[in-house]
Amino acid sequence: MSKQINFTIVPDDSGDGARTYANFCAVAHTPFDLTLTFCDVRPLSERDVQNAEVSQTVRAPVIARVALPFGVIPGLVAALQEQLRLFQESQAANPPNVPRGPLH
């Protein structure tokens, strides 16, 4: 007879869990998993713009590439939706101080 145990997994921040910034995420999948590729897109130089005009692409450095089994995706989507909802509610409760009316 096996024993069932309920538990919650929490991140262990005692190691090198440095926060990494990314402002672009590419999503791809295989039959086995979903891959999120995070990049840091910096302001483009004049040369970058010229190259982009020719190739129609901009290369951005990959910060992290994470492969996830499909079983965790519904939980990830739900967690992202909840965090977005909380963020939007906090912004609605504390709107930025934007002047009303014409600016002179």
- Mean pLDDT, each 10-residue run in order, the chain (104 residues): 86 79 95 96 90 91 96 96 94 71 56
CA of residue 31 relative to chain centroid, distance: 22
Reduce the DSSP state of residue 96 to 3 states and report it: coil
- Return the pLDDT at 92: 86
67, 38 contact by CB (below 8 A) = no
